[in-house]
């Protein structure tokens, strides 16, 4: 039986070295061996976040970490702003409304990013908000919000915390958490960090810790102060995802071997540009404009004259190429090409080639090889 070529925006392929690291004998999380693993992995992860702050590890999906960031900093009845440009921005809305925060939603049409000017105008009459929640990379639309510019506006206009969902891009972009003034940055394991699901990473700066200490959340399992106190001992308050920590340690080393997160981020930009150039050459539309296009996932419109569900199913059945469909209002309108983590220009060329084969099966009108040549050109120019 053939293995599918997974080109989803998560979960994503796992490197063999990471798989092997996770196959080690399990150890107790209350031993010197674990403390060594924990502390080393924290240090390896810091540059990926662009921070000197410690990284907390939660045995959960990214959504639990988003909820932890919310409930540890904000109490019921307090005002928050949520920037939503797609399905995962709406996650933040649902979390905050569930906990009875007063939500002020800055909502953009799906496929558009939020600009600094728009946020500045929105905050004009909201000087007393507690936090601004922002999705860094919107998986449902392939948008990368300009986090540096947005964080700057928040700090200029308010005393609010900047809390960022980086689940679908950390490990594929090069954020500067400390320099940009991000107060809390969250991600998950199954995207650009090249791991299975089940581990969340949370970085918190000193400014946010002061707010957290004053807030005194009622949560037990998601109490970040508890994680902070145990982290000082090189451990977690409850049983951690030990094997995923082994894997994360190895994944971070792979990023270092590539030249560090800056170099890894450059590879992701090249792959993004390859995909976009290929689709343009094939006369297939893209949801987002170039200026805010994600380096980890591209949202692609339905090729003319083709039923999307049939096309995506055919790609998987005949060519074993597995793309993700659209979410929410974009279901049936787009498919999503994930190019993050353990993905390289050669993988993009393979996927584009198989797409072209499928397009021929559907009698789509195009010049055979046009997409491949366009993607090759981008790649070759990047190597000069």
Name which of 92, 10, 46 is nearest 294 in CA terms.
10
In this structure, is the dihedral angle defined by the CA atoms of residues 300, 304, 309 and 310, taken in order, positive or negative?
Answer: negative
Residues above pLDDT 70, as percent of the chain: 100
Give the model's pLDDT for residue 3: 87
Q: Are 27 and 342 in contact (CB under 8 A)?
A: no
Edge-to-edge order in the sheet of strand 297-301: 297-301, 334-338, 324-325
pLDDT digits (tens, 9 = 90+) for 168-187: 999 999 999 999 999 999 99
193 pLDDT band, cuts 50/70/90, is: very high
- Kindly state the average pLDDT of the residues 19-44: 98
CB atoms within 10 A of CB 210: 11
Give the model's pLDDT for residue 364: 98
Q: What is the pTM of this model?
A: 0.97
Give the model's pLDDT for residue 1: 59
Q: Are 170 and 255 in contact (CB under 8 A)?
A: no
Give the model's pLDDT for residue 303: 95
In this structure, is the dihedral angle defined by the CA atoms of residues 218, 220, 222 and 228, taken in order, positive or negative?
Answer: positive
- Kindly state the average pLDDT of the residues 259-269: 98
Rounded Cα distance between 353 and 344, Å, is 15
Residues above pLDDT 90, as percent of the chain: 97
Domains and CATH numbers, the chain: 5-11+260-382 (3.90.1150.10), 16-257 (3.40.640.10)
Give the model's pLDDT for residue 2: 72
Give the model's pLDDT for residue 216: 85
pLDDT digits (tens, 9 = 90+) for 301-349: 999 999 999 999 999 999 999 999 999 999 999 999 999 999 999 999 9
Give the model's pLDDT for residue 136: 98
Mean pLDDT of the chain: 97
Give the model's pLDDT for residue 257: 98
User: What are the residues whose beta carbons fall under 8 Å from the beta carbon of 57, sequence distance 6 or more?
Assistant: 38, 41, 199, 200, 201, 227, 236, 240, 241, 245, 248
pLDDT digits (tens, 9 = 90+) for 147-159: 999 999 999 999 9
Give the model's pLDDT for residue 127: 81
256 pLDDT band, cuts 50/70/90, is: very high
């Amino acid at each position: 039986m053939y293995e599918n070529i997974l080109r989803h925006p998560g979960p994503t392929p796992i490197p063999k070295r990471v798989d092997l690291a996770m196959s080690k004998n399990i150890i107790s999380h209350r031993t010197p061996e674990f403390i060594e693993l924990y502390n080393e992995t924290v240090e390896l992860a810091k540059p990926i976040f662009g921070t000197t702050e410690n990284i907390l590890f939660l045995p959960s999906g990214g959504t639990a970490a988003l909820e932890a960031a919310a409930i540890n900093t904000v109490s019921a009845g307090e005002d928050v702003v949520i920037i939503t440009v797609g399905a995962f921005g709406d996650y933040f809305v649902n979390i905050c409304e569930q906990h009875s925060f007063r939500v002020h939603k800055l909502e953009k049409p799906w496929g558009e990013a939020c600009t600094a000017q728009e946020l500045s105008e929105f905050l004009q009459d909201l000087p007393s908000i507690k936090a601004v929640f922002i999705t860094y990379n919107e998986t449902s639309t392939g948008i990368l919000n300009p986090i540096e510019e947005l964080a700057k506006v928040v700090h200029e206009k308010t005393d609010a915390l900047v809390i960022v969902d980086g689940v679908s891009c950390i490990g594929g972009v090069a954020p500067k958490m400390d320099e940009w003034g991000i107060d809390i940055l969250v991600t998950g394991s199954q995207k650009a960090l090249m791991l299975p699901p089940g581990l969340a990473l949370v970085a918190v700066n000193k400014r946010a810790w002061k707010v957290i200490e004053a807030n005194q959340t009622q949560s037990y399992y998601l109490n970040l102060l508890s994680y902070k106190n145990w982290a000082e001992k090189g451990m977690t308050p409850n049983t951690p995802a030990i094997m995923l920590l082994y894997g994360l340690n190895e994944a971070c080393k792979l990023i270092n071997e590539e030249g560090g997160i800056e170099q890894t981020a450059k590879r992701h930009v090249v792959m993004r540009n390859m995909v976009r150039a290929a689709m343009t050459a094939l006369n297939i539309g893209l949801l987002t404009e170039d200026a805010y296009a994600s380096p980890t996932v591209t949202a692609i419109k339905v090729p003319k004259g083709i039923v999307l569900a049939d096309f995506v199913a055919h790609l998987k059945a005949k060519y074993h190429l597995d793309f993700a469909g659209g979410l929410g209002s974009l279901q049936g309108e787009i498919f999503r090409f994930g190019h993050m983590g353990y993905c390289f220009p050669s993988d993009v060329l393979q996927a584009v080639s198989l797409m072209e084969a499928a397009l021929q099966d559907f009698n789509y009108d195009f010049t055979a090889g046009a997409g491949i040549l366009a993607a090759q050109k981008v790649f070759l120019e990047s190597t000069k």
